[in-house]
Amino acid sequence: MTARREDPRLGLVIANFGRTAAVEDDAGDLYPCVVRKKAGTVVCGDRVRWTRQPGGHGTIVEILPRRSLLSRPGRHGKLKPLCANVEQLVIVCCPSPTGPLDTRLLDQYLVAAELTDTAAVIVVNKDDLTDNLTKQRLRARLKTYEAIGYPVVFTSARTGDGLHRLRDRLRKCCSVLTGESGVGKSSLIKRLIPDLDIRIGALSAASGKGRHTTTTTTLYHLKDGGDIIDSPGVREFGPWHITAPELEKGFREFKALKGRCKYRNCRHVGEDGCAIEAAVAEGLIDPARLDSYRAIMSVLCRYSP
Ligand SMILES: Nc1nc2c(ncn2[C@@H]2O[C@H](COP(=O)(O)OP(=O)(O)O)[C@@H](O)[C@H]2O)c(=O)[nH]1
Ligand SMILES: [Mg+2]
Ligand SMILES: [Zn+2]
């Protein structure tokens, strides 16, 4: 049988369900597709070539080169790919009632973003719950991040406050939301995609399984432009498969001091003549950022002496 002239065509993987994937064509229609074994492992966000079979389903024959691939640690220390071609990591956090913001976790996500060449935006959600004094403290705490070029957006998924600023940040590219459980990621997604239920219904038909669940990594188009990938696994996205020398690349404000330490192989963990430590003493680098760096370093060293 000869292939139709328009085959193979280009498509975007909206969700994948193991052996099958929902592929969107240029017209925005969804097709359940099986993945040809030779094509490799397909993930949400992949751009693919696929051929349409009689009956409305298709076969993915090739994955186009990826701009980026986000993974999380899987079983036996192997990385599990989560989503492809993400350009921006939206790190959602919220002030805890018991203490200040957990910037350690924030820094961890930022390192992971830097090392995968992904831009990052910090979203502080549940702004409706914070009193004025807490707001002031939070804003002061986050100045560090704005100063090194990470945008900070305050939102409330409950009242809708700040959502237009978030939409502005999402407009231009493909983003993925990450952050601890309970910070409000799902609530923000519901706000951003008002017809979420309808979209999930359409995906169920294209999954070939009759049901689509929120545990499947899924890409959504936003009304005002841009795409958002909702992926529960992204929570575990972190800098766990890097080497100690790579870690400092994850702290962008350390870059200017490269080569300034007394020892060429300085790891900035208390060595003599450390330029990073000197910069902290001079107030040029936030001490909490160096603390985060050291905390991640100690975890990495446990894995790779
Ligand atoms: N007050 C307030 N509660 C929120 C806000 N966003 C989410 N929540 C609540 O926080 C809880 C966790 O939200 P969810 O979206 O499931 O968080 P996720 O685990 O990050 O997806 C739910 O009870 C939400 O109703 C917010 O902006 N303000
Ligand atoms: Mg959720
Ligand atoms: Zn040093």
Instruction: For residues 76 and 163, state if they share a domain.
Output: yes
Assess if residue 282 is contained within a domain.
yes
Please tell me the residue having the least CA distance from ligand 1 atom 9.
184
Instruction: For residues 141 and 284, state if they share a domain.
Output: no
Give the count of domains, the chain: 3
| CA-wise closest residue to 13 among 34, 294, 139, 101 | 34
Assess if residue 289 is contained within a domain.
yes
Residues 6+ apart with CB under 8 A from 65: none
Please tell me the residue having the least CA distance from ligand 1 atom 23.
182
Query: Domain range for residue 151?
Result: 69-236
Assess if residue 244 is contained within a domain.
no
User: Probe ligand 1: pick from 166, 187, 228, max atoms within 8 Å of CB?
Assistant: 187
Assess if residue 34 is contained within a domain.
yes
Boundary of a domain, candidates 48, 63, 78:
63
Assess if residue 245 is contained within a domain.
no
Torsional class of 16: left (φ above 0), alpha (ψ -120 to 50), beta (otherwise): beta
The pTM of this model reads 0.91
Instruction: For residues 108 and 223, state if they share a domain.
Output: yes
Residue with tokens 């979420």: 196
Instruction: For residues 58 and 84, state if they share a domain.
Output: no
Please give the Cα distance from 146 to 152 (Å, whole number).
7
Atom of ligand 1 nearest to the CA of 183: 20
Please tell me the distance between residue 95's alpha carbon and the centre of ligand 1 in angstroms. Answer: 12
What mean pLDDT do residues 58-86 have? 88
Please tell me the residue having the least CA distance from ligand 1 atom 14.
184
Atom of ligand 1 nearest to the CA of 180: 20
CATH number of the domain encompassing residue 33: 2.40.50.140
Assess if residue 241 is contained within a domain.
no
Instruction: For residues 127 and 211, state if they share a domain.
Output: yes
Assess if residue 1 is contained within a domain.
no
Instruction: For residues 57 and 76, state if they share a domain.
Output: no
Q: Kind of pairing, strands 218-221 and 227-230? A: antiparallel
Q: Which of 75-79, 101-105, 121-125 has the lowest mean pLDDT?
A: 75-79
Please give the Cα distance from 169 to 100 (Å, whole number).
25
Please give the Cα distance from 130 to 159 (Å, whole number).
13
Atom of ligand 1 nearest to the CA of 127: 27
Q: What share of the chain is helix, strand, coil (3-state, %, to 5)?
A: 35, 25, 40
What's the pLDDT tens digit per position in 8-55?
Answer: 899 999 998 877 899 999 898 899 999 998 888 999 999 999 999 887
Ligand 1: residues within 6 Å at CB? 125-126, 128-129, 156-158, 179, 181-187
Residue-level pLDDT at 55: 79
Assess if residue 50 is contained within a domain.
yes
- Number of Cβ atoms within 10 Å of the Cβ of 11: 25
